[in-house]
Amino acid sequence: MTNLRFKKLIAFTLSLLLVLSLAVPAFASTITGNNSFETAYPIGYWKYSNVGTTILPETENEAYFSFTANAGERIYVKSSYQSQYAGMKIEVFNRYMQLVSEGTSVVNPTSITPFIFARANAVSSSETFYVRVSRGTYTGDMYFTVSILDRIKTGSGKFNFTGTATNNGNVNLNPAGVDSTVISMDLRNNTTIPINALVKSVTTSATQSPSQGNVLHKIMSEQTGVWYTSTVSSASSGSYTISLADQLRVAQRWNFKYNAKATAKSTMTNVSAAISYEYDVTDQFTY
């Protein structure tokens, strides 16, 4: 019986030690004393960041952090916020300690997780940035967390043109073919499209009646007024050289027509555009 009690005591002790050992990192991850560029808390490469809670003592006004990012990465740094922290500010600096961006506006202020944020764009590999969080008007110890996230996301949608495009036929046998009438779609008030989303690629699809060969789809963004011609001859689909380099907004008015070489009259219905796009999540924030 005594041996059994002893074994239970040993098991309890080991369990207690295990719990305590697991609890240690939570305390170890608390950050304080990082009140200058020189003492900035090193986060490391932003994608692998796991920053604990920062304590800003009432005797200090600022907390500093540093992190690295690679060329082409566009990120945002956010700090948690509490309603009593009026005037709290977050700033991002480059390696030369020059201001890159700052933020004081509170995102989702009525939610349970409001925050403030600032943006950064890396132009070289292992580029170093600094973050400064300032207290504002609050007096007393402050508690907050800092995290770094990717700003750029992708999405896609299929959108329908209104009406029927009509082609009277290439009766004069023009080697360049004949264009149809123009139909359009207006995406300016489409709430499914993220704010400031930019086109990555576009394909169009349609039903031609009667179906003909030597047909080219054409699409135009009213942002530029430039007609893009499909790279493949097909009555039912079209793909284009449009890319992010064109900086075309998705949420705008688009026009469509098609070119035919056949002499017979035809129409196109069920015209739609499948658009893949890129957008910045920080453009979607509400204040």
Report how many domains make up the chain. Answer: 2
Say yes or no: 142 and 158 in one domain: no
pLDDT at 12 over 50: no
22 lies in some domain = no
Q: So what's the pLDDT on residue 5?
A: 52
Domain at 114, CATH number: 2.60.120.380
* Token duo for residue 213: 């060969």
Last residue of a domain, one of 118, 150, 182: 150
161 and 203, same domain (yes or no)? yes
Residue 77 belongs to a domain: yes
Domain-embedded: residue 35: yes
pLDDT tens, residue by residue, 211-238? 999 999 999 999 999 999 999 999 999 9
Is there a single domain that holds both residue 182 and residue 137? no
Residues 73, 126, single domain; the answer is yes
Q: Answer yes or no: is pLDDT of 287 > 50.
A: yes
Question: 11 in a domain, yes or no?
Answer: no
Residue 4 forms part of a structural domain: no
113: containing domain? 28-150
Q: Are residues 71 and 57 in the same domain?
A: yes
Nearest to 114 by CA among 149, 78, 80: 80
- Model's pTM, two decimal places? 0.85
- Given a cut of 60, whether residue 35 has pLDDT beyond it is yes
The answer to whether position 6 is within a domain reads no
Shared domain for 137 and 163, answered yes or no, is no
Whether residues 184 and 259 share a domain: the answer is: yes
pLDDT value at position 249?
A: 98
Q: Do 69 and 96 lie in a common domain? A: yes
Q: Does 196 share its domain with 119?
A: no
Domain end residue (candidates: 88, 123, 150): 150
Compute the average pLDDT of residues 55-66. 97
Is position 123 within any domain? yes
Structure-model confidence comparison of residues 133 and 25, the more confident one: 133
225 exposure class (CB count in 10 Å sphere: 0-12, 13-18, 19+):
exposed
Among residues 84, 115, 150, the one where a domain terminates is 150
Q: Tell me, yes or no, whether 181 and 144 share the same domain.
A: no
262: domain CATH number is 2.60.120.260
My answer on whether 161 and 140 are in the same domain is no
Q: Give the model's pLDDT for residue 29.
A: 77
- 130 and 189 in one domain? no
Confidence of residue 166 (pLDDT cuts 50, 70, 90): very high
The answer as to whether 5 is a domain residue is: no
Contacts of 57-62 with C-beta under 8 Å, sequence gap 24+, read 57/32, 57/141, 58/139, 58/140, 58/141, 60/35, 60/135, 61/35, 61/134, 61/135, 62/35, 62/36, 62/132, 62/133, 62/134, 62/135
Q: What is the mean pLDDT of the chain?
A: 92
Convert the pLDDT of each residue in 95-128 to its tens digit.
Answer: 999 999 999 999 999 999 999 999 999 999 999 9
